[in-house]
Amino acid sequence: MAGTPPSRRPRVVVTRRLPDPVERRARELFEVSCNASDEPFSVVQLHAALDSADGLIATVTDRLDRSALTSAPRRAVIVANFGVGFNHIDVAAAADAGIVVTNTPGVLTDDTADLAIGLMLMVARRAGEGERLLRSGTWTGWRPTQLLGTRVTGATLGIVGMGRIGQAVARRARSGFGMRVVYYQPNPVDLGDLDAGECASLTELLECSDVVSLHCPATPATRHLIDADALAHMGDGAILINTSRGDVVDEAALAAALAAGRIRGAGLDVYEDEPQVHPALCALENVVLLPHLGSATDAGRTAMGMCAIDNLVAFFAGEEPPNRIV
Ligand code: 8YV
């Protein structure tokens, strides 16, 4: 369909509720069918959307695997993902099926970096424990030795995956907290004036970092990158932060390491099997658990929606979508 603008308005299925300005703009441009219930589509609903629409605005809750993308009769020719991560989409299958896939890089960088820093502070300063203590009604008042945490100022932050978000976290840590930043990034990356030291291996980074923050994409190569062996290389006062994808961390191994005091704490925004969270993690005090809020600001989610629409507009006008993956 690219290169041949359809004579009618393209049909677009929006798989989840999006911010009002985004839905309004989508309706102005396309013949839109929105998911009014805002529950994740079932497999049947997702397949029906792919059969009936020219394009989808999809989210992380849509499992677009090979069978979804390649079973006939698929009508959809583009999936505009609402989000930068696209591990829920089999892009090789999409390419085989001639379906274009786009994402929304850049617009959520600052919000996600802010949340990673927020999680780091929450874990280091034991904010979750403090809040639970207060709300339980059992706080008996200030004590000099109460809930003593970890000082992040001047500590070493190790960033795994020094892409846009990793770099944004590094800048915040450097300028806001005077942290020393090291990173592990297999492919060469241009850091501009960012002051950060490269580690030759993940092990080297884990061994020298007080805080480890994950910003790599979820791929077969990064699945369970942080497993029991990796956790064993972290210091016993170290903290793990994950705002990337749940698959990067072996949750059972992390829960065991936290329970044993192998590392000091963890802050998680993403999980291996969302919305399930490993029950052992929920039982621990030294982990902060957030419900995948990385990009969750009004401005961020609106910009993501507008970006997804821009990709659809370009595609349906026969142009190259600005954020094409395949
Ligand atoms: C999104 C994210 O909210 O962009 C991403 O990769 O993880 C989140 O910021 C999510 O993907 C929505 O589809």
Helix (H), strand (E), coil (C) string for 266-285:
EEECCCCECCECCHHHHCCC
List the residue whose alpha carbon is closest to atom 3 of ligand 1: 295
**C-beta of residue 272 within 8 angstroms of C-beta of residue 256:** no
Taking residues 17-27, report their average pLDDT: 98
- Point out the ligand 1 atom lying closest to the alpha carbon of residue 61: 13
Pocket of ligand 1 (CB under 6 A): 59-60, 82-85, 108, 294-295
Q: Given the CA of residue 304, which atom of ligand 1 is nearest to it?
A: 4
- Is position 24 annotated as part of the catalytic site? no
* Minimal-distance CA residue to ligand 1 atom 2: 83
| Distance between Cα 118 and ligand 1 center (Å) | 17
- Say if residue 179's pLDDT is above 60: yes
- Which pLDDT value is given to residue 242? 99
The residue-averaged pLDDT of 236-244 equals 98
104: helix, strand or coil: coil
pLDDT of residue 201: 98
Q: Is 74 a catalytic residue?
A: no
Q: What is the pLDDT of residues 157-171, one digit of tens each?
A: 999 999 999 999 999
Asked if pLDDT for residue 85 goes beyond 70, the answer is yes
- Active site includes 274? yes
pLDDT tens-place string over residues 291-308: 999 999 999 999 999 999
pLDDT at residue 6, rounded to an integer: 53
Nearest-angstrom CA–CA distance, 243 and 302: 20
Distance 20 CA to ligand 1 centre (A): 18
What is the C-alpha to C-alpha distance for residues 108 and 114, in angstroms, rounded to an integer? 10
Q: How many CB atoms lie within 10 A of CB 316?
A: 23
Q: What is the mean pLDDT of residues 101-114?
A: 98
Q: How confident is the model at residue 1 (pLDDT cuts 50, 70, 90)?
A: very low
Q: How many CB atoms lie within 10 A of CB 299?
A: 13
CA 256 from centre of chain: 24
pLDDT digits (tens, 9 = 90+) for 6-20: 579 999 999 999 999
Residue 4 scores a pLDDT above 60:
no
**pLDDT value of residue 72:** 82
Q: Please tell me the predicted confidence (pLDDT) of residue 3.
A: 45
Nearest CA to ligand 1 atom 5: 83
Percentage with pLDDT > 70 across the chain: 98
Atom of ligand 1 nearest to the CA of 300: 9
Alpha helices in 184-227 (DSSP H): 202-208
CB 233 within 8 A of CB 207: yes
- pLDDT for 73 equals 85
Provide the pLDDT for residue 275.
Answer: 97
pTM, entire model:
0.96
pLDDT at 172 exceeding the cut of 70: yes
Contacts 24+ apart (CB under 8 A), 224-232: 224/248, 224/249, 224/250, 224/253, 225/160, 225/249, 226/250, 226/253, 226/254, 227/253, 228/253, 228/256, 228/257, 230/202, 230/203, 230/206, 231/257, 231/262, 231/263, 232/257, 232/262
Instruction: Say if CB 165 and CB 215 are below 8 A apart.
Output: yes
Q: Which of 292, 297, 301 to mutate to test the pocket of ligand 1 (most atoms within 8 A of CB)?
A: 292
Annotated catalytic residue: which of 27, 125, 274, 324?
274
Protein residue with least CA distance to atom 9, ligand 1: 295
Task: Return mean pLDDT, the chain.
Answer: 97
Ligand 1 atom closest to Cα of residue 58 = 13
Q: What CA–CA distance (Å, rounded) separates 139 from 119?
A: 23
The string of pLDDT tens digits covering residues 122-143 is: 999 999 999 999 999 999 999 9
Q: How close is the Cα of 285 to the center of ligand 1, in Å?
A: 27
**How remote is the CA of residue 244 from the centroid of ligand 1, in Å?**
9
| Segment 259-285 mean pLDDT | 98
Decide: helix, strand or coil at residue 213: strand
Cα 292 to ligand 1 centroid, rounded to whole Å: 8
Hey, how many other C-beta atoms are within 10 angstroms of the C-beta on 138?
Answer: 8
Give 57's Cβ-side CA count (13 Å radius): 32
84 CA from centroid of ligand 1 (Å): 6
